[in-house]
Amino acid sequence: MVITALRYNLRIQKVGFLTPSLSQYNALDKVTPKSYQEIERNMNKVNVAVVRLVQFVVFVVFTFIVMAYFGAIILLPLDAIALLIKLMGVVGLHGFIGALIAIPAVGYLVLMAYKTPGLGSIVIETGLDLVATGKAKIEAFNAIASNVKG
C-alpha cells in the first residue's frame, strides 16, 4: 500500500484512504509515448500468459476426461465382480466362493461384449475422438496466443 502510494505520488489520510495529492492531478501528463509502448508490451506479455494458463487448464480437463473414460472401461468389469461377490455374500455364500462364481460370470459378459460386432471399435473410436477434440482445442490456443503477441 505504501509502495503504491509512493509510486503514484499519493498521500495517505488519517482515515486510511489513498487520495491523490492536489499538486499531482496532472500526473498523466508525464506519461510519454515510450511509456505507453512499454505498458502495451507488458500487457501483451500478460495477455499471452493468460492465454497459456487457460490453454493449460483445457489440457488438464481433457486429460482428466480421457483418463476417466478409459479408466471406466477398465474398472466396470472389476466393479461388477465386486458387486457380485457382495451379492453372493448377502445370499449366504462366502467371499471366496462368491469370487469363484462372479469372475467367470463377468468374464462371460465381457466376452459377449467383445463378440458384439462393432461395439469395441465404437468404444475405442469414441475415446480417440475425445483425444482428437482435446488436441484441436489446445492447438486453437496457439493461434490465439500468436494473435495476442502481434
The residue count for the chain: 150
pLDDT at residue 65 is higher than 50: yes
Of 77, 103, 76, 98, the residue nearest 86 (C-alpha): 98
What pLDDT was estimated at residue 20? 52
**pLDDT of 1 over the 50 cut:** no
Q: Look at phi and psi of residue 18 and say left if phi exceeds 0, alpha if psi is from -120 to 50, else beta.
A: beta
* Cβ(20)–Cβ(33) below 8 Å: no
pTM above 0.85, yes or no: no
Check: CB of residue 149 under 8 Å from CB of residue 44: yes
The mean of the pLDDT values for the chain is 82
Contact 74, 106 (CB under 8 A): no
What is the spatial distance between Cα 50 and Cα 68, in angstroms, rounded to a whole number? 27
pLDDT (tens digit, 9 = 90+) per residue, 94-124?
888 989 999 999 999 999 999 999 998 999 9
In the chain, what's the furthest Cα-to-Cα distance? 90
Residue 115's pLDDT is what?
A: 93
Rounding to the nearest 10 degrees, give the CA dihedral for residues 107, 108, 109, 114: 90
